[in-house]
């Protein structure tokens, strides 16, 4: 049991290290391509930092052994990632703004581009609602059609984001590429090699994580679905949270929020396609509660962005309340396994 927990921690460390390598490489790719805050924050950085939690359901659902347990892990990881970002992720970002305001490093007014963040939030809510609706479609052909629609939705979102790109939107100070620290501007082959190595490390870490999580679930009797809904996303969402705190300190609010909202769009579009195609996509009461909590937390930010054309740190703080209510429900009702 203790050995499994230790290896679980090691696997998470490998996944997060890989995410750092990937994000660092992706940001340099954005710099070389002269992309602005929208594409870099909402697409490149968002997809890069979303890969750790995305690799967990990919590995779990494609593993043929113990398919029931792995389906629960996969579905939990798919739904848990946007839950964490829309609740704890938003809360930590809002708290960071207020802390840095109190220490005179910035002011409390967030200057995130309403077009970028508004588009992200609308795209997320639409894609997430479509993905969840697939659980209520009785025919597999209908669910496959929804999976195809999700791919098109994400493609349209990426197209719109790049169409509204403003190169040189901000003077981002990037840390040196990890594989070429002595070069002020790394060569493209160095960037490609770092991204490739990061992907290999991420896949290996995800395989180890899924195996150890399965062992812990069996040993403790706790639902694998609940573990993957709560435990996995808290750890694997750390890249988005840390990046966003750093960016709000630097007053780069579009990057800070876009890093999370862009990841939410990706996570509500692409991973659910795998879940819909590789499982029965039956959502338990716990899973549906996570869906409701995610949409409620996102609604606070979306409504304020729509009405006031900006997001305040106070509306972001409300994510913590939604998360507390969800965890209280989970602990009060106990795990409700899905029917496979």
Per-residue pLDDT at 13 exceeds 90? no
Residue 147 has pLDDT above 90, yes or no: yes
Question: Per CATH, which fold does 2-165+177-333 belong to?
Answer: A middle domain of Talin 1 (1.20.1420)
Of 217-231, 242-256, 287-301, the one with minimum mean pLDDT is 217-231
pLDDT(171) > 50: no
**What's the pLDDT tens digit per position in 90-114?**
999 999 999 999 999 899 999 888 8
Q: What is the DSSP string of 60-84?
A: HHH--TTHHHHHHHHHHHHHHHHHH
The pLDDT, as a whole number, for residue 125 is 95
Neighbours of 36 (CB within 10 A): 22
The domains of the chain are located at 2-165+177-333
* 35: helix, strand or coil: coil
What is the residue whose two structure tokens read 């809360």?
91
Instruction: Tell me, yes or no, if the pTM score tops 0.85.
Output: no
The predicted-structure confidence for 238-267, as pLDDT tens digits, reads as follows 556 777 887 888 888 988 898 889 889 999
Of the chain, the percentage scoring pLDDT greater than 70 comes to: 83
Q: How confident is the model at residue 334 (pLDDT cuts 50, 70, 90)?
A: low
Which tokens is 165 given?
A: 């790109």
State the chain's mean pLDDT as an integer.
82
Over 70: is that where the pLDDT of 167 sits?
Answer: no
Q: How far apart are CA 100 and CA 104, in angstroms?
A: 6
């Amino acid at each position: 049991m203790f050995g499994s927990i230790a290896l679980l921690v090691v696997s998470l460390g490998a996944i997060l290290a890989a995410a750092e390598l990937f994000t660092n490489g992706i940001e340099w790719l954005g710099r070389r391509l002269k992309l602005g805050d929208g594409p870099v924050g909402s697409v490149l950085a968002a997809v890069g930092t979303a890969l750790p939690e995305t690799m967990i359901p990919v590995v779990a659902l494609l593993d043929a052994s113990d398919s029931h347990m792995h389906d629960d892990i996969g579905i939990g990881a798919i739904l848990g990632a946007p839950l964490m970002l829309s609740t704890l992720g938003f809360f930590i970002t809002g708290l960071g703004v207020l802390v840095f305001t109190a220490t005179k490093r910035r002011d409390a007014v967030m200057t995130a581009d309403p077009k970028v963040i508004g588009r992200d939030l609308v795209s997320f809510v639409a894609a997430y609602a479509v993905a969840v609706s697939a659980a209520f479609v009785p025919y597999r052909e209908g669910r496959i059609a929804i999976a195809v629609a999700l791919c098109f939705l994400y493609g349209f979102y990426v197209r719109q984001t790049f169409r509204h790109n403003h190169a040189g939107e901000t003077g981002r100070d990037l840390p040196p590429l990890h594989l070429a620290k002595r070069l002020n501007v790394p060569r493209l082959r160095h960037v490609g090699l770092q991204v490739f190595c990061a992907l290999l490390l991420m896949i290996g870490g995800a395989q180890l994580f899924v195996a150890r999580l399965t062992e812990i679930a069996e040993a403790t009797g706790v639902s694998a679905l609940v573990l993957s809904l709560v435990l996995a996303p808290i750890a694997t969402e750390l890249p988005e949270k840390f990046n966003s705190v750093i960016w709000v300190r630097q007053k780069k609010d579009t990057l800070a929020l876009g890093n999370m909202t862009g990841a939410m769009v990706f996570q509500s579009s692409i991973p659910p396609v795998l879940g819909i195609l590789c499982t029965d996509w039956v959502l338990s009461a716990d899973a549906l509660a996570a869906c409701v909590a995610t949409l409620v937390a996102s609604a606070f930010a979306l409504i304020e962005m729509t009405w006031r054309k900006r997001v305040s740190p106070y509306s972001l703080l409300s994510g913590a309340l939604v998360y507390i209510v969800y965890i209280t429900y989970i602990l009060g009702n106990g795990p409700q396994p899905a029917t496979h």
